[in-house]
C-alpha cells in the first residue's frame, strides 16, 4: 500500500508538471509570436514610409527635368531594399496563425504590386514613363498600403498581442493555482504515508533491536519473530540465519581452537629445533670459511713477497668467493630474524667500484658457463647502505641473468640519480634471456613464488 501511494503521488506530480509545462510553453509561444509580428510590422511601416518619401521626392525632381537614369549599382541597391521588406512581410506571414492570415496575405499581394511599380518607376527615372507609372500605379497603391492596410494590420496585431498577453497571464495564474493544489495534496498524502511508515518502522526496529541485543549478549539460540513479509521481515530472517550461523561457527571455532593449540605447540617446537639446527650448522661452517679466507690472504701476501704475481688474481678470487660464501652463511643466521620481523641493516659507506668488482669476480664464472659476456658499467663514487645486502642482491640478479641467457650479453649499469630526497644510486641489470610475461611480472615479488615451474625443470633453482 505504501508503495502504491508513493507511485500515485509521483505520477500526479509528474502529470501536473508535464501539463502545466505544455500550457505555459504554448501561451509563451503565442505571446512571443505576437510581439515578433508587432515588431516586424513597425519595421515594415518605417521602411515603406522612407520609400514613399524617396519616391515622392524623385518624382518631383523628375517632373522638373533635373534627373538622369540611375546606374546599375543604384538600381540593384534599390531593389535589394525592397526584397528585404518583402522578406520581413513573409516572416509576418509565417508567424501569423492560419485563421488570421487572410489580411496579411492580402497585404503581401498589394505590396508585391507596389514593389513592382516602384521598381519600374526607378528604372525609368528621368523619363516620361516614370511620371506615368507614378500617376497610374504608384500613388494609388501607396495610398492603399500606407493609409488603409498598414493601420488596419497594426490595430489587429495590437489586439492579438493584448489577447496573447492576457492569455499568458491567465495560463500562468491557472498553472500556479493547480500547482499549489497538487503540491498541497501531495504534502497531505506524504504526511499520512510518513506517519504510517514511521509507525511500522518503529515497531519493526524495536523488535529488531531487542533481537540484536539478545544475540549480541551471546544468546545465539534466540530467534527474532518475523511479523511481516517486507524488508523488516527479511532483515529479521537474516538476523535469525546469522544467529544460527554464528552458533554453528562458535562450536566449530572452539573445536578448531583446541586443534590449533596442539598444532601451535608442535610448530613452535619444530621451529625452535630448526633455528637451533641452522644456528649450529652456520657456526660449524663459519669456522672453516674464516680459515679459508685467512689462508688465502696469507698466500696472497706470500705470493707478493715471492714475486709470484700470476697466482695473485686466483688467490684474490678465492678470498672474494670465500667472503661471499661467508656472507651467505651469515644470511642463514638471519633467517630466524626474518621470521621474527627483526632484520637489522648495518649501514656503512663503501666504494661502489670496489663492491661491483667483487660481485663481477664471482659472477664471471657463471656468465662463462653459458658462453655469455659480462659487461660492467659503473660510475665512480661512494654509497651509504648495507654492503652485504646490496652485494647479495646484485649477485642474485646477475646469477639469474646468466642462468637464463645463453650465448649473449649480461650488462650491469650503475649510475647516480639525483632526486628531491638526495643522491640515489641506480642499479640496472640487462640480459637477453627468456624474459617474463606481464602476468609473471605481477608475481615477481611474491614470497617463495616462481614465474613458471617449468623453468625450474629446465634451468634449475628454487623459488625466491
290-302 pLDDT, tens digit per residue, is: 788 888 888 888 8
Confidence of residue 414 (pLDDT cuts 50, 70, 90): very high
- What average pLDDT does the chain have? 78
User: What are the CA-CA distances from residue 457 to residues 130, 148, 196, 249, 404 (Å)?
Assistant: 113, 110, 73, 44, 12
In terms of pLDDT, which residue wins out, 36 or 447?
36
Asked whether the predicted pLDDT for residue 401 surpasses 80, the reply is yes
Per residue in 427-462, pLDDT tens? Answer: 999 998 888 888 887 777 776 566 565 655 555 555
Pick the residue with more confidence: 380 or 66? 380
> What SS3 class is residue 70?
coil
Contact 127, 69 (CB under 8 A): yes
Mean pLDDT, range 174-190, rounded to an integer: 79
Q: What is the pLDDT of residue 377?
A: 92
Alpha-carbon distance values, 33 to 21, 30, 239 (Å): 18, 5, 66
Give the pLDDT confidence score for residue 410 in this predicted structure.
Answer: 92
Distance in angstroms (rounded) separating the CA atoms of residues 125 and 140: 19
Sheet with 373-378, strands from edge to edge, namely: 373-378, 409-419, 422-430
Mean pLDDT along residues 40-65 = 76
Q: What is the pLDDT of residue 412?
A: 93
| Amino acid 258: pLDDT | 86
CB burial of residue 103 (10 Å; 0-12, 13-18, 19+)? middle
Asked whether residue 336 carries a pLDDT value surpassing 70, the answer given is no
> Cell digits for 245?
550461523
Q: Return the C-alpha cell found at 305.
A: 713477497
**pLDDT score for 311:** 84
Grid coordinates representing 352 are: 661502489
Structure confidence at residue 126 (pLDDT):
63
- What is the average pLDDT across 229-242? 71
pLDDT of residue 447: 62
pLDDT at residue 2 in the model: 54
Residue 48 to residue 138: CA distance in whole angstroms: 12
Q: Is the pLDDT of residue 21 over 60?
A: yes
Average pLDDT of the residues in 82-107: 84
- The dihedral sign for the CA sequence 325, 327, 329, 332: negative
Other CB atoms within 10 Å distance of the CB of residue 365: 12
Q: What is the pLDDT of residue 168?
A: 77
Higher pLDDT, 231 or 439: 439
Mean pLDDT of 85-107: 83
Q: Which of 7-21, 44-58, 270-284, 364-378 has the lowest mean pLDDT?
A: 270-284
Average pLDDT over residues 50-71: 71
27 confidence band (pLDDT: 50, 70, 90): confident
pLDDT in tens, 130-152: 667 676 777 787 778 777 788 88
The answer to whether the beta carbons of residues 405 and 432 sit under 8 Å apart is: yes
Q: Given this model, what pLDDT does residue 127 score?
A: 67
Backbone angles phi, psi at 215, to 5 degrees: -65, -40
348: three-class secondary structure by DSSP = strand
Which segment, 133-147, 250-264, 404-418, is predicted with the most confidence on average? 404-418
Least confident of 54-63, 153-162, 376-385, 399-408: 54-63
From residue 303, give the alpha-carbon distance in Å to each of 111, 169, 288, 300, 323: 126, 117, 22, 5, 20
Main-chain dihedrals φ then ψ at residue 416, nearest 5 degrees: -95, 135
Give the residues across from 429 on adjacent strands: 412
Give the list of residues 6+ apart from residue 43 with CB closer than 8 angstroms, or none.
88
Q: Predicted confidence band at 190 (pLDDT cuts at 50, 70, 90)?
A: confident
What does the pLDDT read at residue 296? Answer: 85
Helix axes 312-340, 387-403, angle to 10 degrees: 110
Task: Tell me the average pLDDT across 269-280.
Answer: 69
DSSP secondary structure of 179-216: HHHHHHHHHHHHHHHHHHHHHHHHHHHHHHHHHHHHHH
Q: In whole angstroms, give the CA distance from residue 58 to residue 37.
A: 31
Residue 343: per-residue pLDDT: 63
Task: Using a pLDDT cut of 70, give the percent of the chain over it.
Answer: 81
The rounded distance, in Å, linking the Cα atoms of 375 and 308 is 29
Amino acid at each position: 500500500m505504501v508503495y502504491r501511494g508513493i507511485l500515485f503521488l509521483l505520477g500526479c506530480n509528474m502529470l501536473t508538471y508535464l501539463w502545466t509545462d505544455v500550457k505555459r510553453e504554448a501561451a509563451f509561444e503565442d505571446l512571443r509570436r505576437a510581439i515578433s509580428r508587432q515588431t516586424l510590422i513597425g519595421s515594415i511601416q518605417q521602411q515603406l514610409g522612407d520609400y514613399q518619401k524617396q519616391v515622392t521626392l524623385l518624382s518631383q525632381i523628375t517632373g522638373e527635368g533635373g534627373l538622369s537614369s540611375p546606374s546599375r549599382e543604384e538600381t540593384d541597391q534599390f531593389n535589394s531594399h525592397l526584397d528585404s521588406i518583402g522578406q520581413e512581410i513573409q516572416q509576418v506571414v509565417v508567424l501569423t496563425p492560419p485563421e488570421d492570415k487572410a489580411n496579411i496575405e492580402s497585404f503581401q499581394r498589394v505590396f508585391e504590386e507596389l514593389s513592382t511599380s516602384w521598381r519600374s518607376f526607378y528604372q525609368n527615372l528621368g523619363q516620361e514613363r516614370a511620371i506615368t507609372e507614378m500617376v497610374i500605379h504608384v500613388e494609388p497603391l501607396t495610398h492603399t498600403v500606407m493609409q488603409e492596410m498598414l493601420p488596419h494590420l497594426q490595430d489587429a496585431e495590437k489586439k492579438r498581442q493584448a489577447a496573447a498577453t492576457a492569455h499568458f497571464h491567465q495560463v500562468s495564474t491557472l498553472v500556479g493555482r493547480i500547482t499549489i493544489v497538487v503540491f498541497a495534496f501531495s504534502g497531505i498524502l506524504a504526511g499520512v504515508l510518513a506517519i504510517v511508515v514511521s509507525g511500522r518502522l518503529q515497531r519493526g526496529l524495536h523488535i529488531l533491536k531487542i533481537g540484536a541485543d539478545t544475540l549480541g549478549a551471546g544468546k545465539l539460540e534466540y530467534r527474532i519473530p518475523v511479523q511481516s513479509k517486507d524488508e523488516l521481515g527479511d532483515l529479521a530472517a537474516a538476523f535469525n540465519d546469522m544467529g544460527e550461523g554464528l552458533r554453528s561457527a562458535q562450536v566449530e571455532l572452539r573445536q578448531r581452537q583446541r586443534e590449533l593449540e596442539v598444532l601451535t605447540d608442535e610448530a613452535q617446537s619444530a621451529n625452535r629445533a630448526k633455528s637451533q639446527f641452522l644456528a649450529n650448522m652456520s657456526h660449524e661452517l663459519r669456522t672453516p670459511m674464516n680459515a679459508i679466507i685467512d689462508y688465502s690472504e696469507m698466500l696472497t701476501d706470500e705470493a707478493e713477497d715471492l714475486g709470484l704475481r700470476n697466482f695473485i688474481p686466483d688467490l684474490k678470487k678465492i678470498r672474494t668467493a670465500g667472503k661471499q660464501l661467508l656472507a651467505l652463511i651469515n644470511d642463514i643466521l638471519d633467517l630466524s630474524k626474518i621470521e621474527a620481523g627483526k632484520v637489522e641493516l648495518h649501514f656503512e659507506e663503501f666504494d661502489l667500484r670496489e663492491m661491483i668488482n667483487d660481485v663481477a669476480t664471482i659472477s664471471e664464472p657463471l656468465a662463462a658457463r653459458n658462453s655469455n659476456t659480462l659487461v660492467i658499467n659503473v660510475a665512480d663514487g661512494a654509497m651509504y647502505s648495507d654492503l652485504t645486502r646490496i652485494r647479495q642482491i646484485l649477485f642474485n640478479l646477475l646469477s639469474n641473468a646468466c642462468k637464463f641467457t645463453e650465448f649473449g650479453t649480461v650488462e650491469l649499469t650503475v649510475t647516480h640519480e639525483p632526486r628531491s630526497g638526495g643522491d640515489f644510486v641506480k642499479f640496472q641489470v640487462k640480459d637477453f634471456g627468456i624474459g617474463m610475461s606481464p602476468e609473471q611480472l605481477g608475481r615477481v615479488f611474491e614470497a617463495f613464488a616462481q614465474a613458471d615451474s617449468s623453468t625450474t625443470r629446465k634451468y634449475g633453482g628454487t623459488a625466491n
